[in-house]
């Protein structure tokens, strides 16, 4: 499951999950290869653990061999699983940055935006993080990339004739 | 054929479903439509269909039939198709399916595409879920892109390289040239990902690590610029410039400085600067401080810097923000071994965290508190920890109880304090203590000879209050069985002795036997305790009655015990006093558990082991008395012979001890007995964990023409010794020296006196019984010196 033989990954994000208060998954990004069954189990377990936490709790908890860092933004929980050596505080900043990027793109982002435009949420994530590591620390840069990539999609005319999806 | 419904249309429809069944129905209908659309090889709407499939997949429905469609999308020329195709690949495909390899060619082409956003898609996908095979095939392309001047692609290529290295570590070398001027980049994205790449390489290879040490000055410079430079809107977070990059640089510095004096020296100043100048009002500043502290503790920093780091953690402990407190406790836990004194200074704050409302913090505080306990603070700390045990969640109780036992064992200021502490744990968290605590506690109590009366009194009083906590009940039963005589005779010195009669004690023990709250194990303990009291109390008839009643118990274990105890009363009454005698001091084995005389599940003790197999020994009653009278009665401790031949060593601990008994000093063997064709040789080993124990193996051989059957070897030693006889290999010594019977004797000789032994042999030879007694005095001096 970990990359390659030898070498212990001490700093690595294993997964990033977004889910609602009702336990509905809104986004899942996995940074290691796992079977569908394993993924489902992890999602179930982590959701269960996080959803029962009282409101003013610490944002970190220990689960199996991972640190879980989570934060609630309105009706959505942003949650990731880290390896032991990782810095939880900077991960909180990372989650916050992702929310800011979503907010920047959608303008006052809310859960519905992420439900109806989940693919965009993924695209934004992919401009921010690759393989569990941050690739760009400038908000403006991410915004620009998204804008330009979006513009490569079908023009308005094409869209009207043959809508994208 | 009408156009497939739009994605957002579908999402809207599905959200109107009121039940799970309704949703499932909608999904199935749509999946069917999508399937037929796929079958028709429809290019126009493939993208839309796959997008819908991905939505349904997120809801938890199977979507594997869309995998190939994702590949087709990736191969398409339209950017929209590629975007969804790659997303689908990342969500639906992984290296387990062979189908993923079909992506390799597409990715290769896209890595060389004219549009950087297409290249970006390919790099991202490869860097996220590329299998080892794909990585091997495409590493060259990634390496090329790592050298491009396009920062958009360079940063992605760096992280892709990280993934390649994680999957195929052997390929790390090929990325080395491209790392040459990565750090001279101005672009923060490239800088950040480059630092990540360098970190990965240094972690994996000591050679790379030494190679990259030369980058320390450059890294220090970059970090300095970040801190000193004015406000930079592009990377600012609450007044701090690019905290993500700062943290990654600090982490890389940590790895480079570890174990290396020069590098550590070179980064000393910048670390001090970051530590003192970083704004701590927001989380982001504290995140950087945290990373700085971790770095300072790991490298060879000068003591002033280390103290600074620990003080930062100390300040974190007082922070209002729970997260900060949690992180402080975690870090202090890591440093408590190396900087024990510095952490001790914050002990009272840490102990206060035990009272925190947050579960995560409480746990960390508990772990750290245990790490801080030492001989000086044991009394105060234990007070806090016992209070914590009282009030904490059940999840904590087992760990807390174990921790308290360990700490008490290590640092108990007095035996009385130790027993009191144990009592407190058993009464407040008695149902949560681990199973192995019971035998450990029994051993502890046995060895605290002068506290026996006090202990049994306290345990008895605890039983009167509450019989629901099994570990407490088990330890108490055991003690009452052993020291019941002290209890009724009111011998307690430590506190006011209570007045209790034999009948009252037996009432309590019998109460345990019938109570619904008692587990079968506990019942076993009480029955044995009652039996033991037969030699300590005078109410013999009552005890006999109880024992005979349980002879027909439904519980097989209880029944067996009762039957055997009954047999003791009936046929072997003369052996009863010896068998039920006070337990000797138990030797602590290397594994720190109870010695061979007690099995590790705490359920049986040696008297039970012995009595189980006693009926099979066929010697007449009077001879046993002879054994007791052997050396005039006063200076001999009679030995109980253990078991029937085929029974293996009674507890794993013994066997382990035997195997561990390889001593370097060779003690010469000796012949202990040679008469009538029977030769008994003794060979010696010294017990490694305990030099006071001599391990003797007897080898009995028979040179006559007839077998010696029903062979039984017994031994007795003077009172200053303790002896234990393990099971013989068999009870037939074959004729004509065709084989031997071996048996192991362990002798504890703490006073190092000259070893002497009296042995008794019985066997049947050519139909007639033979018996002989002999003294063995010719032990080589090395065996007892």
Which contacts of A62-66 are long-range, i.e. CB under 8 A and separated by 24 or more positions?
A62/B360, A62/B363, A66/A14
Across the interface, do B290 and A164 touch by the CB < 8 Å criterion?
no
Q: Return the percent helix, strand and coil in chain A, to nearest 5.
A: 45, 20, 35
How many contacts, defined by CB atoms under 8 Å, are there between A and B? 194
Interface test with A, best of B20, B59, B89, B192 (most A CBs within 10 A): B192
Which residue's entry shows tokens 């040789």? B681
The answer for B 587-646 residues in CB contact with A (under 8 A) is: none
- B354 φ, ψ (degrees, to nearest 5): -65, -25
Distance from CA of A38 to the nearest CA of B (A): 13
pLDDT of residue A74: 93
Q: Is A81 helix (H, G, I), strand (E, B) or coil?
A: strand
List, for chain B, all residue ranges whose pLDDT scores fall below the cut of 50.
590-664
Q: Which stretches does DSSP call E strand in B568-689?
A: 636-637, 670-675, 678-686
pLDDT of residue A26: 96
Q: How confident is the model at residue A70 (pLDDT cuts 50, 70, 90)?
A: very high
Quickly count: other Cβ atoms within 10 Å of residue B621's Cβ: 11
What is the rounded CA–CA span in Å between residue B15 and residue B519?
A: 53
More confident residue, B778 or A47: A47
**Within an 8 Å CB–CB cutoff, is residue B217 touching chain A?**
no
Q: Count how many Cα atoms sit within 13 Å of the Cα of residue B187 in the half-sphere of its side chain.
A: 18
Which chain B residues are closer than 8 Å to A93 by Cβ? 237, 243-244, 283-284, 287
Q: Which stretches does DSSP call E strand in A40-127?
A: 60-63, 66-73, 76-82
A157: pLDDT strictly greater than 80: no
ipTM for this model: 0.92
Residues 6+ apart with CB under 8 A from A24: none
pLDDT of residue B580: 84
Across the interface, do A4 and B203 touch by the CB < 8 Å criterion?
no
Vertex B281: Cα angle to B275 and B284 (nearest 5):
70
Supply the DSSP symbol for B669. P
Distance from CA of B435 to the nearest CA of A (A): 23
Structure tokens at A152: 């490569």
- pLDDT tens digit string along A106-142? 999 999 999 999 999 999 999 999 999 999 999 999 9
Distance from CA of A23 to the nearest CA of B (A): 11
Structure tokens at B136: 């091997």
B358 pairs with which residues across the strands?
Answer: none
pLDDT of residue B266: 94
CB B751 within 8 A of CB B666: no
Q: What percentage of chain A reaches a pLDDT higher than 90?
A: 72
| CA distances for B260 relative to B214, B301, B740, angstroms | 12, 10, 63
pLDDT of residue B597: 36
Across the interface, do B322 and A162 touch by the CB < 8 Å criterion?
no
pLDDT of residue B755: 84
What is the rounded CA–CA span in Å between residue B689 and residue B693?
A: 9
Dihedral angle computed from the Cα positions of residues B777, B778, B782 and B785, in that order, rounded to the nearest 10 degrees: 20
The answer for B 91-110 residues in CB contact with A (under 8 A) is: 91, 94-96
**Within an 8 Å CB–CB cutoff, is residue B294 touching chain A?**
yes
pLDDT of residue B620: 39
Across the interface, do A119 and B326 touch by the CB < 8 Å criterion?
no
Supply the DSSP symbol for B688. S
Q: Which of B636, B664, B660 is nearest to B721 (CA)?
A: B636
Longest dimension (CA), chain B: 111
Which chain A residues are closer than 8 Å to B80 by Cβ? 152-154, 164-165
CB A46 within 8 A of CB A81: yes
pLDDT of residue B640: 40
What is the rounded CA–CA span in Å between residue B74 and residue B79?
A: 9
**Within an 8 Å CB–CB cutoff, is residue B117 touching chain A?**
yes
Distance from CA of A92 to the nearest CA of B (A): 8
What is the rounded CA–CA span in Å between residue B307 and residue B344?
A: 12
What is the rounded CA–CA span in Å between residue B158 and residue B171?
A: 14
CB B638 within 8 A of CB B716: yes
Q: Which DSSP string corresponds to B184-245?
A: G---HHHHHHHHHHHHHHHHH-HHHHHHHGGGHHHHHHHHHHHHHS---TTTEETTEE-HHH
pLDDT of residue B666: 66
**Within an 8 Å CB–CB cutoff, is residue B237 touching chain A?**
yes
Nearest CA in chain B to A140: B234
What is the rounded CA–CA span in Å between residue B528 and residue B605?
A: 10
What is the rounded CA–CA span in Å between residue A58 and residue A70?
A: 9
Vertex B765: Cα angle to B762 and B770 (nearest 5):
35
| CA distances for B30 relative to A146, B19, B56, B60, B450, angstroms | 30, 17, 10, 15, 81
**Within an 8 Å CB–CB cutoff, is residue B65 touching chain A?**
no
pTM of the model: 0.70
């Amino acid at each position: 499951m970990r990359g390659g033989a030898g070498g212990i990954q001490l700093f690595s994000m294993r997964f990033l999950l977004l889910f609602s208060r009702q336990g509905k998954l809104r986004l899942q990004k996995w940074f290691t290869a796992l079977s569908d069954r394993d993924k489902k189990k992890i999602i179930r377990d982590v959701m269960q653990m996080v959803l029962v936490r009282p409101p003013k709790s610490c944002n970190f908890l220990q689960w199996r061999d991972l640190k879980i860092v989570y934060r609630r933004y309105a009706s959505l929980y942003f949650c990731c699983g880290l390896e032991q050596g990782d810095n939880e505080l900077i991960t909180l900043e990372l989650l916050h940055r992702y929310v800011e990027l979503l907010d920047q793109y959608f303008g006052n982002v809310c859960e519905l935006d992420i439900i109806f435009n989940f693919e965009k949420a993924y695209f934004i994530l992919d401009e921010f993080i690759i393989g569990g590591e941050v690739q760009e620390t400038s908000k403006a840069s991410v915004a620009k990339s998204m804008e330009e990539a979006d513009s490569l999609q079908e023009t308005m005319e094409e869209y009207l004739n043959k809508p994208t999806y | 054929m009408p156009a497939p419904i739009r994605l957002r249309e579908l999402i809207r429809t599905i959200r109107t479903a009121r039940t799970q069944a309704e949703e499932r129905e909608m999904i199935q209908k749509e999946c069917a439509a999508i399937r037929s659309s796929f079958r028709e090889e429809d290019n126009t709407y493939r993208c839309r269909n796959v997008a819908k499939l991905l939505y349904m997949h997120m809801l938890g429905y199977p979507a594997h039939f869309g995998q190939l469609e994702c590949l087709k999308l990736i191969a398409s020329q339209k950017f929209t198709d590629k975007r969804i195709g790659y997303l689908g690949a990342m969500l639906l495909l992984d290296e387990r399916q062979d189908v993923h390899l079909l992506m390799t060619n597409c990715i290769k082409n896209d890595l060389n595409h004219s549009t950087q956003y297409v290249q970006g898609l390919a790099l991202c996908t490869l860097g996220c879920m590329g299998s080892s095979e794909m990585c091997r095939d495409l590493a060259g392309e990634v390496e090329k892109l790592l050298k491009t001047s396009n920062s958009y692609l360079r940063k992605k290529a760096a992280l892709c390289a990280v993934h390649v290295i994680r999957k195929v570590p052997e390929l790390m070398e090929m990325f080395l040239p491209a790392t040459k001027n990565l750090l001279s980049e101005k672009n923060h994205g490239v800088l950040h990902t480059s630092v990540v790449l360098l970190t990965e390489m240094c972690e994996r290879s000591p050679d790379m690590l030494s190679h990259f040490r030369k980058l320390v000055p450059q890294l220090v410079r970059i970090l300095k610029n970040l801190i000193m430079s004015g406000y930079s809107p592009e990377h600012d977070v609450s007044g701090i410039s690019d905290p993500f990059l700062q943290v990654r640089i600090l982490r890389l510095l940590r790895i480079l400085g570890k174990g290396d004096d020069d590098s550590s020296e070179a980064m000393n100043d910048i670390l001090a600067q970051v530590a003192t100048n970083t704004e701590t009002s927001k989380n982001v500043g504290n995140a950087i401080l945290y990373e700085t502290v971790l770095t300072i503790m790991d490298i060879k920093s000068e003591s002033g810097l280390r103290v600074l780091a620990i003080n930062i953690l100390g300040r974190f402990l007082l922070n209002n923000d729970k997260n900060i407190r949690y992180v402080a406790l975690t870090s202090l836990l890591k440093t408590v071994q190396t900087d024990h004194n510095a952490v001790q200074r914050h002990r009272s704050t840490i102990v206060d965290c035990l009272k925190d409302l947050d579960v995560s913090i409480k746990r960390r505080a508990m772990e750290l508190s245990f790490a801080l306990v030492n001989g000086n603070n044991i009394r105060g700390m234990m007070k806090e920890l016992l209070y914590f045990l009282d009030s904490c969640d059940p999840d904590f109780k087992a760990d807390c109880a174990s921790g308290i036992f360990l700490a008490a064992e290590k640092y108990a200021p007095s035996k009385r304090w130790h027993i009191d502490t144990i009592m407190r744990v058993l009464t407040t968290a008695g149902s949560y203590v681990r199973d192995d605590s019971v035998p450990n506690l029994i051993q502890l109590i046995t060895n605290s000879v002068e506290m026996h009366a006090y202990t049994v009194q306290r345990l008895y009083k605890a039983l009167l209050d509450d019989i629901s906590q099994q570990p407490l009940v088990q330890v108490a039963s055991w003690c009452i069985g052993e020291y019941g005589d002290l209890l009724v005779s009111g011998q307690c010195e430590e506190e006011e002795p209570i007045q209790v009669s034999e009948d009252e004690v037996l009432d309590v023990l019998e109460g345990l036997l019938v109570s619904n709250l008692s587990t079968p194990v506990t019942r076993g303990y009480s029955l044995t305790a009652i039996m033991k009291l037969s030699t300590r109390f005078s109410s013999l008839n009552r005890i006999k009655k109880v024992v005979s009643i349980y002879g027909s118990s439904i519980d097989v274990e209880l029944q067996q015990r009762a039957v055997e105890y009954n047999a003791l009363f009936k046929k072997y009454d003369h052996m009863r006093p010896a068998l039920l005698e006070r337990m000797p001091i138990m030797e602590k084995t290397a594994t720190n558990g109870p010695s061979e005389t007690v099995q590790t599940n705490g359920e049986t003790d040696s008297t039970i082991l012995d009595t189980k197999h006693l009926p099979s020994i066929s010697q007449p009653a009077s001879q046993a008395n002879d054994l007791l009278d052997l050396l005039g009665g006063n200076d001999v401790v009679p030995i109980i012979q253990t078991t029937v031949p085929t029974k293996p060593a009674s507890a794993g601990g013994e066997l382990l001890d035997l195997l561990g008994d390889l001593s370097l000093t060779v003690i010469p063997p000796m012949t202990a007995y040679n008469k009538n064709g029977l030769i008994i040789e003794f060979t010696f080993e010294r017990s490694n964990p305990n030099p006071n124990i001599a391990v003797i193996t007897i080898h009995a051989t028979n040179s006559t023409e007839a077998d010696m059957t029903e062979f039984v070897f017994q031994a007795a030693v003077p009172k200053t010794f303790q002896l234990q006889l393990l099971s013989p290999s068999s009870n037939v010594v074959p004729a004509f020296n065709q084989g031997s019977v071996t048996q192991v004797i362990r002798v504890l000789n703490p006073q190092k006196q000259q070893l002497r032994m009296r042995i008794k042999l019985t066997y049947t030879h050519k139909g007639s019984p033979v018996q002989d007694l002999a003294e063995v005095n010719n032990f080589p001096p090395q065996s007892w010196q």
